[in-house]
Amino acid sequence: MDKITGEIIKDTVSFADFKDHDGQIVCIKGYIHRIREMTGFAFVIIRTAKDTIQCVYAPEFSDYRWDEKLCEEACVKVTGKVVSSKDAKGNDRYELQIHGIDILSLPATNLPIVVNKKQLDNIQLSTILDLRPIALRNPKERAIFKIQEGIARGFREYLAQNGFTEIRSPKINFAGAEGGTNVFKLDYFGKEVFLAQSPQLYKQALVGVYQRVFEVAPVFRAEHHDTSRHLNEYTSMDLEMGFINSFEDIMNMETGVLKYIMNLLKTEYKEEVELLHADIPEITEIPVMKFMDAKELLMKKFKYNPTDMKDFDPKEEELLGKYAKKELGSDFIFITHYPSKKRPFYTMDDPNDPEYTLSFDLLFRGLEITSGGQRVHDYNEQVAKMEKCGMNPELFETYLMFHKYGAPPHGGLGIGLERLTMHLLGFSNVREATMFPRDINRVTP
Ligand code: AMO
């Protein structure tokens, strides 16, 4: 009987390891990114998962003869000799002298867009999104989601190092956790249920077990408007911490996470950062301003007349971002103590001034990327607050189990992964930082 052993057969060499194989015959697999015919020889650029590798075909290198079926976007296995060359780019200037090419598959037709340029020039975002699986083959497009991988990886790594347990909460829920009208209703075998707006109720409950938890997962918001910063499905990076001393513990944890992420990007995602000209912020400390002080600043310094005294509009966030950068030298600013009326039922009111809450948002270059705060942990207080918010606590019996049977002082936050990626890369539309965006007009690809 045949048996599978788990042995990983490594029949190819990565570009990074070419230097250890100088003068040797190696194998690489990938797409033909580009063919440049010259007189008497041709450059064949192979695109692997990470690199574009310069290979050279010339009849004098071996007995192999060019197959006329070879074309750009063919999947191939290339065998050749690693040589250093002053013409080759990057990685100590190594290239491959081709000794053979095996065709693994050929495209059925030409690509609808040119992907082998430095960037996708003059192509509308909607076309890029329509053609996402192909458009992502462009190295610059591909790099966006390597950066995004780095952000989520940094979040996970830092929290795991700080005693957090990764959780998985259900996405089909008995109630929307965040309130408002942007909840997707679902027919669940004849019963009305909702797609998770956030893991809020579950991450709180699990603080009662693991004390510190986090989740990186999709959440759903039925956004009725087509804006440049709202998606109907986005990735929420959530954390929740028990036994906190104050809600500043949460802001400190976020500052630590962000420092770790930025450092990881600078070190392990250097090539992508350079390719995308990403401006990775230096974080030493993050300034903090109270909501009402920020409103006053907007009115006095910027002569801005607010339309809503309970929240910020995008223009106000932008102005606060500019102020933080110019006057405080920071790409980030925490705004704390949002009005109680605007924060969800689980938010703890400030005991010194119950009109306001022990909550915060984090603005990054003028865009809200995080909401967080301390939660109500006392059972009676939570029931009373739900009633005040016009909710029926009986419908939240399973959520309230946590409070009823003993909850520690706790709090947490949620970071929008796509929004953070968007402003890190200087994009003006969150869709550019979303692999397969879902908005009011788009559910494909
Ligand atoms: P909130 O609803 O403010 O808070 O969401 C947290 C963060 O998620 C991002 N975000 C979005 N990103 C893209 N499209 C959207 N439609 C969208 N809506 C929100 C933003 C925002 O700051 N449970 C709380 C978090 C907590 O208190 O722990 C919550 O979900 O970056």
Range in 54-63, 80-89, 197-206, 344-353 the model is least confident about:
80-89
- For the Cβ of 422 lying below 6 angstroms from any atom of ligand 1, the answer is no
Among protein residues, the one with the nearest Cα to ligand 1's atom 12 is: 416
Average pLDDT over residues 128-134: 98
**Per-residue pLDDT, 91:** 56
pTM over the 0.85 mark? yes
Kindly give the distance from the C-alpha atom of residue 178 to the centroid of ligand 1, in angstroms, as a whole number. Answer: 9
Q: What is the pLDDT of residue 93?
A: 86
Q: How confident is the model at residue 176 (pLDDT cuts 50, 70, 90)?
A: confident
Is the shortest distance between the CB of 347 and ligand 1 below 6 Å?
no
pLDDT of 152 strictly over 70 = yes
Supply the pLDDT for residue 92.
61
How far, in Å, is the centroid of ligand 1 from the Cα of 340? Answer: 17
Q: Is the CB of 79 under 6 A from ligand 1?
A: no
- Residue 29 has phi, psi (to 5 degrees) of -130, 140
Q: What is the pLDDT of residues 210-243, one digit of tens each?
A: 999 999 999 999 999 999 999 999 999 999 999 9
410 lines ligand 1 (CB under 6 A): no
Question: Residue 182: what pLDDT?
Answer: 94
Nearest CA to ligand 1 atom 4: 371
- Residues 217, 221, 226, 229, Cα dihedral to 10°: -50
445: preceding bond cis by omega (within 30 degrees) = yes
pLDDT value, residue 362: 98
**Average pLDDT value for residue range 255-274:** 98
From 216, 236, 257, 429, the mutation candidate for ligand 1 (largest count of ligand atoms within 8 A of CB) is: 236
* DSSP state string for 124-187: -HHHHHHTHHHHTTSHHHHHHHHHHHHHHHHHHHHHHHTT-EE----SEESS-SS-SS---EEE
Query: What local confidence, expressed as pLDDT, does residue 145 receive?
Result: 98
The predicted model gives 260-267 an average pLDDT of 98
From ligand 1's centre to the CA of 1, what distance in Å? 53
pLDDT at 88: 61
Across the range 398-416, mean pLDDT stands at 98
Which residue puts its alpha carbon closest to atom 8 of ligand 1?
416
**How is residue 196 written in tokens?**
């998770």
pLDDT above 90 for 67: yes
92: left (phi over 0), alpha (psi -120 to 50) or beta: left
**In 3-state terms, what secondary structure has residue 409?**
coil
pLDDT band at 440 (very low <50, low <70, confident <90, very high): very high
**Atom 28 of ligand 1, nearest CA residue:** 413
Mutate to test the pocket of ligand 1, among 224, 364, 371, 431 (most ligand atoms within 8 A of CB): 371
Q: Tell me the pLDDT band of 118, cut-offs 50, 70 and 90.
A: confident
Average pLDDT of the residues in 54-72: 97
Instruction: Check residue 180 and give its pLDDT.
Output: 82
CB 371 near ligand 1, within 6 Å: yes
Mean pLDDT of 342-347: 96
Q: Atom of ligand 1 at shortest distance to CA of 415?
A: 7
Domains belonging to the chain, first-starting first, are 15-105 (2.40.50.140), 139-433 (3.30.930.10)
Indicate whether 75 pLDDT > 90.
yes
